[in-house]
């Protein structure tokens, strides 16, 4: 399944910023070790989201 958009809502602006920084680290990580650290940061920060909403069409897998 794939959604065209995922929206995360945070109660605190600081939490949204920390999540954005963690996500940016994953995108820019070149070394596998750095990517693992960045993914751990994302997991920590996404837990602070107060609501997660998907928009778009969710298609079941055809495999």
Residue 60: its pLDDT value, please?
60
In terms of pLDDT, which residue wins out, 8 or 60? 8
CB 3 within 8 A of CB 54: yes
* pLDDT tens for each residue of 15-52: 888 888 888 877 776 666 777 777 788 788 888 888 87
In terms of pLDDT, which residue wins out, 55 or 15? 15
pTM over cut 0.85:
no
Is 53 a residue whose pLDDT tops 60?
Answer: yes
Q: Which two tokens stand for residue 48?
A: 């602070």
**How many whole angstroms separate alpha carbon 16 and alpha carbon 35?**
20
């Amino acid at each position: 399944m794939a959604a065209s958009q995922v929206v995360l809502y945070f109660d605190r602006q600081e939490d949204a910023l920390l999540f954005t920084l963690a996500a940016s680290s994953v995108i820019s990580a070149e070394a596998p070790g750095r990517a693992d650290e960045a993914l751990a940061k994302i997991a920590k920060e996404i837990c602070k989201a107060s609501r997660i909403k998907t928009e778009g069409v969710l298609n079941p897998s055809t495999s």
